[in-house]
Structure formats: structure tokens, C-alpha cells
Amino acid sequence: MKLDILVIAAHPDDAELGCSGTIAAQVAKGYKVGIVDLTQGEMGTRGTPEIRLQESAEAAKILGLAARENMGFKDIFFKDDEAHQLELIKVIRKYQPEIVLANAITDRHPDHGKGASLATNTCFMSGLRKIETQLNGKNQDPWRPKFVYHYIQNNYINPDFIVDITDYWDTKVASIMAFKSQFFDPESKEPASFISSPDFLPFIESRSREMGHRIHTKYGEGFTIERFIGVKDLFDLK
Ligand SMILES: [Zn+2]
């Protein structure tokens, strides 16, 4: 199945926190969007891999995703190396996305910057004819996405462009809250974590408000680019 947009995320919930408003906006326009989570987030303080897979499936429904899969790479220990690149190339060739949304280029959690460079390198390599891959016994065609954009995660990064997600704010929140094991729950008996504090979701809202404010809308999500984006009509810029 061909996708228009593939989101690559180091952990289940990275995509929801970083760019789910944008995903919902593009799905509403009729684009096919999928997420590939690199790990099951098994090193996270709360929850289990099984719970997080269920939560991912619930968030996928809320966002109207056409596909979601998990690479099963090792949380914390996965690398941007040949073995991981070859596995991820298969997924890029399988879905043939025009646009890839990838982790923040640098962040508090080391998997985020590592996920970003793995995605960037793999998108380039996937276009190389001489790297041969097979899926279900069939040779795959090379495929290079036109653009890789990086969403912004915990640490502030000045964006290169901002998507207006005002109409999709509620969907973003619902997709984040699908990860019940991760966020603030007064009933939870699990140990507290960085993101389970009651202050975490207001922080996400503040970030989205700040981004929205910069483009004169209520809520926004910022992205950084790898190469310049061009327009033919100045009025396409909002
Ligand atoms: Zn993460």
C-alpha cells in the first residue's frame, strides 16, 4: 500500500506528541498517512510493551492512520547502522511515501536525535538501486521520499515552518491520551516519570500555543527542514 506521508518515530507516542495535529490535518484532506515506531518503548518507566502496542493501535484509530507498524528495534540501544538501515529501507520501499516526518534532530532523549539521523540516512539510501532488499520473497524497487521534515519534541528548536493545527487540537489531545500508561493519572500506582507529571500536558499545550502564535493561529506544530522548500506562488504561503 502506498502512503502519502510516513511518520518515523523512535517510541510509540513520539508521533502523537510531536506531530499528531499535522497528521490529523493531512488525513482530513484525504492523504494516506502511516506511522512506523522504531521501538516498543520498553525502557519507559511506565507501562509494558504489550500495553504500549494496544495504546498505539488506539491512537492510530483516533488519527485515522492507514497503517502503523513497529520495527521492534531495541529501545535505547538501537543504532543508525547497516543492520537497522536495511530493515527500515524495506519499510520505506514498501510504503513509498512522498514525505517523511521524522524525530527531532536533537533532543533530551538520545533516541530522538538517533532516530532522526537513521530516518534521514535511510530515506537517502532507499533510493539507491544497488542496495537490494526483498519483502515477502519479492525484490523491492528503490524509492526516495521527496522531503524529510523533522518534528520538534521536548527541547525547543526554532522551526523552519509551522503547520496550523487549530482545527485538530482536540484530536491531538485525544491521540496523546490514548497512551494512558504514560501520562498523568491520579489512580496510577506506577512510579512517576518525566512525562507522567501533571505539568507535562500543559507544557505540550504551551508549546503548541507558542507555535500557533508565531503564525497568528491558536495552535501549531513546528518542523525543521533538510533542504529549502520552494513555492511558485507567494500566496501559497499563509
Ligand atoms: Zn521518544
CA of 169 to the centre of ligand 1 (A): 20
Distance 92 CA to ligand 1 centre (A): 20
pLDDT of residue 131: 98
pLDDT bin (cut points 50, 70, 90) of residue 161 is very high
Chain mean pLDDT for the chain:
95
Give pLDDT tens digits for 190-214: 888 777 888 888 999 999 999 999 9
Please state, in angstroms and rounded to a whole number, the distance separating the CA atoms of residues 155 and 194.
Answer: 13
Cα 39 to middle of ligand 1, angstroms: 9
Cα separation, 234 vs 238, in Å, equals 9
- CA of 11 relative to ligand 1 center, distance in Å: 5
Q: 220-225 and 161-164 as β-strands: parallel, antiparallel, unpaired?
A: antiparallel
The total of other beta-carbon atoms located within 10 Å of residue 204's CB is 18
Cα 52 to middle of ligand 1, angstroms: 13
Between the CA of 17 and the centroid of ligand 1 the distance, in Å, is: 9
Tell me if 148 sits within 8 A of 131, measured CB to CB.
Answer: no
Q: How far is the CA of 62 from the centre of ligand 1 (A)?
A: 20
Q: What separation in Å is there between the alpha carbon of 46 and the centre of ligand 1? A: 13
pLDDT at 163 over 90: yes
Please say whether the beta carbons of 167 and 27 come within 8 A.
no
pLDDT tens digits, 107-122: 999 999 999 999 999 9
117-151 as b/e: b if 16+ CB within 10 A:
ebbbbbbebbeeeeeebeeeeeebebbebebbbbb
Asked if 150 and 114 touch (Cβ cutoff 8 Å), the reply is: no
Q: What is the pLDDT of residue 49?
A: 87
Alpha helices (H) along 160-220: 169-177, 200-214
Q: What SS3 state is found at 196?
A: coil
**Residue 189 Cα to ligand 1 middle (Å):** 22
Measured CA to CA, the distance from residue 176 to residue 207 in angstroms comes to 15
Tens of pLDDT along 178-192?
998 887 777 888 888
pLDDT tens, position by position, 42-75 = 888 888 888 889 999 999 999 999 999 999 999 9
How far is ligand 1, taken at its centre, from the CA of residue 31, in Å? 25
Give me ligand 1 centre to Cα 104, in Å: 10
The predicted model scores a pTM of: 0.95
The radius of gyration of the chain's CA atoms, rounded to the nearest angstrom, is 17
CA of 18 relative to ligand 1 center, distance in Å? 9
Q: What is the pLDDT of residue 180?
A: 86
> Which own/partner contact pairs does 196-202 have at CB distance under 8 Å and 24+ positions apart?
196/45, 196/46, 201/173, 201/176
